[in-house]
Structure 1
Amino acid sequence: MLSNLNQAHLLVTGGAGFMGSAFIRYVLSQPGFTGHISNLDLLTYAGNLDNLKEVEEDSRYAFYKGDVRDRSVLEEIHKEKPLTAIVHFAAETHVDRSITDPTPFLETNILGTCNLLEFVRTHPNIHFHHISTDEVYGALGADGIFTEETPYRPNSPYSASKASSDHFVRAYAVTYDLSTTLSHASNNYGPGQYPEKFIPLMIQNALGKKPLPVYGKGENIREWLFVEDHSRAIWTILEEGKKGEVYNIGGGNEMKNIDLLRLILKVAEEMTAEKNLEALITFVTDRPGHDFRYAMDGTKVSSLGFTPQWSLEAGLRATMEILL
């Protein structure tokens, strides 16, 4: 799709966050990449420039502190060096926070995305890739799988805000003939993830011998994708995908939350001298609107040449090594 991707100027929004920083590190590690990455991040609670320590002196990289709702910073970056593409990670993503206060999710996920699309509308040579989530599709029962044709049925303020931003991407592409792609990813995990998320929270609590809170009976099922595999998939879409298309990215690791926690504790016990960590498991009242199961059909992105390379256990070990 982007024939000059190795020479591109990419604007990564939310690049100090968990997934955005992983993507930046991945791109800069590619031996053929001679382009440039501009990282735009407001450095809210989940943004951490320590995620980019290894690349901060790279001449191909620059950081800008700013808000995706601020048009002036976008124009500044584009004026300094014309952009080839925007890879839009910046978002409020925590379901529990969205239940407590949906307002930041509307402001960042919807208004922020619309501001970026307005910017692209005035600079239509820029390609726009939007990072979304499997949660926009709602919940599955024991059977079935999400495809790119699955109707949207969001069940939380977070997923509703992401669904809305997805619709704006499609609408701008159709109405204004913009170049866009969109990807829905299953649950990402890996080193550097903010500890409010399930896997880093369980690892940190287990290593600190603190209670391990599990919603309900831990029967909810998720599909897990190592963050480096997610970065590889996005790069593949930018390079081989088709403009206007949507791609689902799954990790092929589907598991009940309680079984995942037991695997985390097994790995923790093997990597430390700790024993009987399962005694720390505490079941708590389920959260409102808790989707039962997510699972992704990754056939379409696989046709571009993407295959996940990380097993769940190997990914957990790599994640845990950073914390030991």
Structure 2
Amino acid sequence: MKACLFALVLTVAIRTASCQSPEVPQEDRTKHEVLAVEVEPSVRLEVLDWGGKGSPVILIPGLGMTAHSFDVFAVKLSSTHHVYGITRRGIGKSSDPEPTTTNYTAARLGADVVAVMDYLKIPKAVLIGHSFGGEELSAVGTSHPEMVSGLIYLDAAYGYAFYDPRFGNLEIDVRDIREELANIDPGKLPLDKRDQLRELLSQLPRLIKDLESLLQQMNDHPPPSDPSKLPPPQLVAMSKGQQKFTKMTLPVLAIFAYRHQLPEDGMLQDEQRRKAAGENTVFTEEHVEALKAVVPAAHIVRIPNADHFVFRSNESEVLRITNEFIDGLPR
């Protein structure tokens, strides 16, 4: 189980993305160059350049996090690659456009990454995303595969990155069903709506399962009643802007962490911990299967005794696996 209070407010979609609160600003901890890259009129993103020799690598952080979340990891990765990091729009020192869905769709966030690559004159790179950063990886890999050598998902290959109808994605499924219901207007019958009705009925069992799961999570961890503890509207807009990614032709490395440490983990009893670990395993294995359905050739690595920030909790192992994957990519 990966639920946390912050994520529950953003529905299951964000729960799977991360159990992390927005990053607390702090002084730079590593030597790097800071750039402000314009990706569209009046929208600039904070881009970090840690330098290094070798092929370019671009790091994309999790939900609510800045590129600084990779500070230590990036420096070590720069011993073999030229490493950059991007703080997405709406976060940290990057511009903060109005939190409309169109400003924060997966396609828009992916286009920002492409714009940064164009600015830096990087024709092709390996993209590494943590948590919700997997969405940008899939967006760029789908729309501009010619600009990507490979994709590395650091506990990031969940429903926002790969969509499998067997498991679904609550945010996407609810949106699709809402749109389909809007097209079924009884007042306009006898127009034939049988196909739409069959499609809706086929989706209901999955939706019911997701809603039951969400209700159980909210019973276990009630959302905050204090408005000051609700997530920023930009993060809500990112959740609503998710898209279905059902095809990927690029080389993929997906690292899954078993099991995630929850912010409130210290308050859990042993029995609760065992239950949470079991639920986490079932949930994660469902998404491993979803990934296999979209990318049969994906290289999947399960790391036990890790937390969601697997590049920190298991740094040396992640560095080794990452370098081996990149070294094996076609030149």
> What is the TM-score normalised by the length of structure 1?
0.33
Tell me: higher relative CO, structure 1 or 2? Use CA pairs within 8 A at least 6 residues apart: 2
> What is the TM-score normalised by the length of structure 2?
0.33
